[in-house]
Amino acid sequence: MKRALFILPLILFLGLVFYLGFGLTRDSRLLPSTLIDKPAPEFALEPLLSSGKGLATADLKGQVSLVNVFASWCVPCRAEHPTLMRVAKEHAVPIYGINWKDKRADATAWLDELGDPYARIGYDPDNKAGVEWGVYGAPETYVIDRDGRVRYKHVGPIFRSTFDETILPIIRKLQEG
């Protein structure tokens, strides 16, 4: 019995080592969204492009969609852009953009240069919609279901593998359900 008691602190220590070690493998800068499974927030943004459509809560109902927060000053947004172009071309899921804390002229030039994968782009220079969505950086991408509920949030750029392995299955499941 005394032997067993000797081992106890060691077991507790090892338990703590594994628990904290696991914690070290996770990125603490990525915050979970408070919006998951809740209806998308109330917002209405005017169009970024004079030739395009703006974005508001009502636009998110009726189909599964992606909402992508981007800006011309955001370097990872540039990196994920080819993935968005491919998704827009190959998959039947509309991508709606929120142009975040940006200048209209800069954003327009950026899209002219790289291409425009967005079906709609809302212009949010003052972070009015961003606050409602809990946006704390760019890029961020949300998966919205048919009823306009937020079902998944991805913080940071989306690369091909992330899209194929994580996001596409979610979209498929929502489209079938």
Neighbour-count burial for 5-44, b at 16+ CB within 10 Å, e otherwise: eeeeeeeeeeeeeeeeeeeeeeeeeeeebebeeeebeebe
Say if residue 41 is preceded by a cis peptide, omega within 30 of 0.
Answer: no
Neighbour-count burial for 123-162, b at 16+ CB within 10 Å, e otherwise: bbeeeebbeebbbebbbbbbbbbeebbbbbbbbbbbeeeb
Q: Does 133 participate in binding another protein (rule CB under 8 A)?
A: yes
Tokens matching residue 122: 């809302």
Q: Does 137 participate in binding another protein (rule CB under 8 A)?
A: yes
- By CB under 8 A, which span of 33-41, 78-86, 156-164, 166-174 interacts with another protein? 33-41
Let me know if 92 is exposed, middle or buried by CB neighbors in 10 A (0-12, 13-18, 19+). Answer: exposed
Q: Does 33 participate in binding another protein (rule CB under 8 A)?
A: yes
* Selected binder of another protein within 76, 132, 148, 162 (CB under 8 A): 132
Q: Give the 3-state secondary structure of residue 140.
A: strand
Say if CB 155 and CB 35 are below 8 A apart. Answer: no
| Shortest Cβ 111–another protein spacing (Å) | 22
Q: Does 11 participate in binding another protein (rule CB under 8 A)?
A: no
Q: Does 39 participate in binding another protein (rule CB under 8 A)?
A: no
Of 98-127, which residues contact another protein (CB under 8 A)?
101, 126-127
Q: Does 156 participate in binding another protein (rule CB under 8 A)?
A: no
Q: Does 23 participate in binding another protein (rule CB under 8 A)?
A: no
**DSSP type of residue 168:** H
* Selected binder of another protein within 39, 47, 125, 134 (CB under 8 A): 134
| Shortest Cβ 38–another protein spacing (Å) | 10
- By CB under 8 A, which span of 45-53, 60-68, 75-83, 132-140 interacts with another protein? 132-140
Query: Which residues of this protein are in contact with another protein, per CB under 8 A?
Result: 28-29, 31-34, 41, 101, 126-127, 130-134, 136-137
